[in-house]
Structure 1
Amino acid sequence: MYLGVDCGTQGTKVVILDPEQARIRGEGQAAHELISAANGRREQRVEWWTHAFRQAYRQALDRAGIDGRAIRAIGVSGQQHGMVLLDRAGAVIRPAKLWCDTESAAQNAQLVAQLGGEAGCLERLGLVPATGYTLSKLLWLKQHEPEAFGRIGTILLPHDYLNYWLTGECAAERGDASGTGYFDVRTRRWAPEVLALIAPDGRLERALPRLLRAEEPVATVRPALARELGLAEGVLVASGGGDNMMGAIGTGNIADGIVTLSLGTSGALYACTERPPVLSSPLVAPFCSSSNAWLPLICTMNLTGVVHQVRTLFGYDLERFQQEADRAGIGAGGITLLPFLNGERVPALPRASGSLLGLNTQNLTPANLCRAALEGTTFGLRHGLDLLRASGIRCDSIRLIGGGARSPLWRRLVAEILDTQVVCPRVGEAAALGAAIQAAWCEQHQRGTGVSLAELCGRFVALDPDSAVTPEAGAVARYRDAYQRYRRHLNQLHPDA
């Protein structure tokens, strides 16, 4: 058995993968709290993650009906870009700042300028750091919490921290490391000269963990924790990776032509490629994958949260919300929502707020506002797919995951706005499944069996034909008009975006 763990913004999910039956035997999940402030602060305490891990693990084990000693390896997926700091004794210094924390927007702009603007960033790193990357959080800490900054002994990402908690060893994996802002995605190495802009004395370079290849383990589970969890001795902990990298593995997105789209708290579009991508825009993040290739990616900051807020505004449950949105029809009666409630990354507007445009006495209805929420968030993803395609990424089909993928209406919107066939994997928890598959790959690699990641994905990733949506030509044309209206509004309000 293999254990896959996904520590996300809203909660931790655990799956137990049975390699003999090629199916998930048990699942569990537990919610996280969130520290949030109007200035853009988004933080979590790491003990919330480990508590949720224990809860979700126990649920999954009970539902699988197995003994924990049957588990051979563990893989961890984590939300990207977070900053977890340990002191020199290995204790956590402060709450983790998350991917969606925009408090360091000013520091990110300062560092990008110091690196020589977009051109200088591309030359040094192969990408342009965005607000939310780990790099700007470190400068923010130096400026706002110098005492905490002075105590830094090790810098970890969220999934790195969970691996540390499991094993007692500090390590990083190249896919997740790509989103720090101090990693060169072309050479797949740390870029300590970037950290020297914050700390010229080299203290931050010395705080970096060792880097692993995707198929390498971190170590084995600590004996005391293994006893607590009922695991056998010597259970391997795989390198793991960021949630998008694990989502790619969990959707079988390890070859050209497949695009994974996640409809979650954020919206993410990514595609695996064996070649370093040629960037058409600094908004495309040419991350490394957790399969030793590349995973060019775009991420929007506002997705299911926007839908939730509009739904809550009218007191609708999910079924009523979808009924109203469906009744409104394509184009939301001429209403356009720029859904930047939490700033935005694509386009790069970290300080933006949302805008509702095109209102009149005829179209101001709850149904049209519900539809505008779905369309506005999906138009941002269309923008992102256009950027990926312009960077040479082929998109033959989209594999849709995340909470929003459960909505037949939203699946149809995605297919017709992006003009691409859409299908969902049978296992919706793609990041947790990807982590379990990577754990199997790592364990098999250690045993020298020669099993490839492609073979494992072929065995464990299955698509749901009942979820497939083929875009209808008439709807595609009408959405094209609505999308152009969205782009006109965007350009008028944010001409530099």
Structure 2
Amino acid sequence: MYLGIDCGTQGTKALLVNEKGESLGRGYAKHELVERSNGAREQQPEWWVAALKIAVRDALQSASTTEPVLALGVSGQQHGLVVLDENKQVIRPAKLWNDTETAPQNSAIIERLGGKDAFFARFGIVPLTGYTVSKLLWLAEKEPENFARVRHILLPHEYLNFWLTGELRAEFGDASGTAFFDVRKREWTREVLDAIDGGTGQLFAALPELVNSDGIVGKLRPEVAAELGLSPECVVSSGGGDNMMGAIGTGNVREGVVTLSLGTSSTVYSFSTHPANDPTGNVAPFCSSSGGWLPLVCTMNATNVVTGTVQLLGKHVTDIDASLDKTEPGADGLVFLPYLNGERTPDLPDARGSLHGISSTNFTPDHMIRAAVEGVSFGILSGLDLVLEGRQAETIQVIGGGARSRAWRQLLADASGATIQVPEEEESGCLGAAIQAIVAYSATQGQPQSFADIAVTMVRVNPASTCTPRAEKRAGYDAARAAFRKQFAQIYSAT
């Protein structure tokens, strides 16, 4: 058996699979989340460990077999900052990917290195609010005593790998989202960190060793193996960010495949053999965790906006389909700019959500729900246009909580002109981590397998969830997207 673990914002999931991709057992445990009105969003790394223990235990207990787990992989929320002291103890809570308190520091670090154009020219990436680098500058400015204690810098999945194995390692895909990693050369960049610590070398020395995406971090620590009920011979693969593992878990390991995730945030990405070349920073030129690159756009508002709207109206998420079925594209002129958490793409960390065009005919729960779904969808479809550089997507793999809504899937098909498919295995991050574990384990056995070959076998589509575009709806959605863009420009064009 192989085990995939996905540590997200809301909780940690575990999935046991065999080499055919068949689910043998699964588990889940929720996380606490600290949110403050100033944009701070934090979690204690120990909460992730506690959740991992529960999720793995439940997956093993629900398993239909007692075969040993040969290897495991960990997927983790990107960009989070975990700092350890000289004794490898956590110094403070981790600041998360959706933390916007550090927006001023993000702007400051870009300016220190000569502006966006210079940053992109030198390192192949432009930091956006939420990337790890701004959190380090924030720590230096706001908590200098804690900053002085930093001896190790880790991302969330790397911290879990450290807890599992005792080893401090990083891999290219997740490292890409720090903005102190050169995505072209695939190496850490001291120059960015020197701009934070004044060239002392403190931060550069705190970085973990890089390993290949098909490599291993190590084996389980004996005490951890005993606590989890696994063998100490179990291999731990390099793991990666949740988007990178989601790509593997949807077969997005070759050019031509598009993955769109509708979770707390929304992301869209497509495997590439070369890094993205977008000096604006809107398209993140991340490395993939399967070799190659994974041009990606992230919006910070997705299912949280839709479920929040539904709950505010006294409805349930099961009512989303009915509301979309009852209303037409454009919500009768109602436009929802869904920036409840600020926004990352476009880079507007201080933006706020707003409703426009309210009239006596569209001031209904059904229209408001449609406007929320459209606002989220139009934002991420604009991101898809950037990723594909104007090319038409023929097929999109949709994952995350939003993928469960039939009418939302149909909306995406009609608005994009692409066929929408849903992978049979909903937990694509877990599946991707398990596939990576198989790749890493097979290499240790002298029988290496490729990501593409394994994905063909293990990634399957649920035909009952497929939605094809309806040509007669396209004009309505084109007009609705134009209205969305017009409203956005009126508010933010001078920003």
TM range (shorter): over 0.9
- In 2, the alpha carbon distance for the partners of 1:60 and 1:450 equals 27
Structure 2 residue aligned with 1:430: 428
C-alpha offsets along residues 439-489 of structure 1, whole Å, 9 cap, x if unaligned?
000000111103211111111111111111111112111100000000000
Contact 1:257–1:393 (8 Å) recurs in 2: no
- TM-score normalized by the length of structure 1: 0.97
C-alpha offsets along residues 186-228 of structure 1, whole Å, 9 cap, x if unaligned?
0000011000000021100000000011111001000111111
Answering whether residue 397 of structure 2 is matched by residue 399 of structure 1, we say yes
Structure 2 residue aligned with 1:181: 179
- In 2, the alpha carbon distance for the partners of 1:133 and 1:277 equals 17
Residue type of the partner of 1:182? F
Structure 1 residue aligned with 2:9: 9
What secondary structure does 1:233 align onto? coil
Contact 2:320–2:405 (8 Å) recurs in 1: no
Residue type of the partner of 2:338? P
**What's the CA shift for 1:403?**
0.6
Residue type of the partner of 2:322? Q
- Give 1:71-90 correspondences, 5 Å limit: 71-90=69-88
**What's the CA shift for 1:233?**
2.4
- In 2, the alpha carbon distance for the partners of 1:140 and 1:44 equals 16
Residue type of the partner of 1:267? S
Structure 2 residue aligned with 1:379: 378
- In 1, the alpha carbon distance for the partners of 2:188 and 2:347 equals 25
Answering whether residue 169 of structure 2 is matched by residue 171 of structure 1, we say yes
**What's the CA shift for 1:397?**
1.3
C-alpha offsets along residues 259-298 of structure 1, whole Å, 9 cap, x if unaligned?
1000000000000011223327420001000011100000
- In 2, the alpha carbon distance for the partners of 1:280 and 1:477 equals 32
Contact 2:152–2:208 (8 Å) recurs in 1: yes
What secondary structure does 1:65 align onto? coil
Answering whether residue 207 of structure 2 is matched by residue 208 of structure 1, we say yes
- Give 1:438-457 correspondences, 5 Å limit: 438-457=436-455
Structure 1 residue aligned with 2:357: 358
- In 2, the alpha carbon distance for the partners of 1:73 and 1:30 equals 21
Residue type of the partner of 1:54? K
Residue type of the partner of 2:6? D
In structure 2, the CA distance between the partners of 1:209 and 1:175, relative to structure 1 (3 Å rule), is same
- In 2, the alpha carbon distance for the partners of 1:406 and 1:215 equals 31
- In 1, the alpha carbon distance for the partners of 2:327 and 2:414 equals 16
**What's the CA shift for 1:66?**
3.3
Structure 2 residue aligned with 1:198: 196
- In 2, the alpha carbon distance for the partners of 1:320 and 1:292 equals 41
Identity of aligned residues (%): 49
Range that drifts further, 230-239 or 170-179: 230-239
Residue type of the partner of 2:73? G
Structure 1 residue aligned with 2:30: 31
Residue type of the partner of 1:231? L
Matched pairs, number: 494
Contact 1:280–1:387 (8 Å) recurs in 2: no
- In 2, the alpha carbon distance for the partners of 1:374 and 1:16 equals 33
In structure 2, the CA distance between the partners of 1:386 and 1:280, relative to structure 1 (3 Å rule), is farther
- In 2, the alpha carbon distance for the partners of 1:463 and 1:486 equals 32
Contact 1:326–1:371 (8 Å) recurs in 2: no
Residue type of the partner of 1:224? E
- Give 1:35-114 correspondences, 5 Å limit: 35-67=34-66, 70-114=68-112
- Give 1:82-481 correspondences, 5 Å limit: 82-199=80-197, 200-279=199-278, 281-390=280-389, 395-481=393-479
Contact 1:176–1:241 (8 Å) recurs in 2: yes
- TM-score normalized by the length of structure 2: 0.98
**What's the CA shift for 1:59?**
1.1
Residue type of the partner of 1:26? G
**What's the CA shift for 1:496?**
4.1
Residue type of the partner of 2:358? L
Contact 1:256–1:394 (8 Å) recurs in 2: no
Gaps of 5+ in 2: none
Residue type of the partner of 2:446? G
Range that drifts further, 222-231 or 200-209: 222-231
- In 1, the alpha carbon distance for the partners of 2:292 and 2:391 equals 14
- In 1, the alpha carbon distance for the partners of 2:288 and 2:342 equals 26
What secondary structure does 1:363 align onto? coil
What secondary structure does 2:65 align onto? coil
Q: What's the C-alpha RMSD, in Å, of the aligned pairs?
A: 1.2
Contact 1:74–1:236 (8 Å) recurs in 2: yes
Range that drifts further, 318-327 or 350-359: 318-327
Residue type of the partner of 2:105? Q
C-alpha offsets along residues 45-73 of structure 1, whole Å, 9 cap, x if unaligned?
11111111111111111111333x60000
In structure 2, the CA distance between the partners of 1:394 and 1:457, relative to structure 1 (3 Å rule), is farther
In structure 2, the CA distance between the partners of 1:444 and 1:496, relative to structure 1 (3 Å rule), is farther
In structure 2, the CA distance between the partners of 1:393 and 1:175, relative to structure 1 (3 Å rule), is farther
What secondary structure does 2:195 align onto? coil
Contact 1:444–1:450 (8 Å) recurs in 2: yes
- In 2, the alpha carbon distance for the partners of 1:217 and 1:370 equals 45
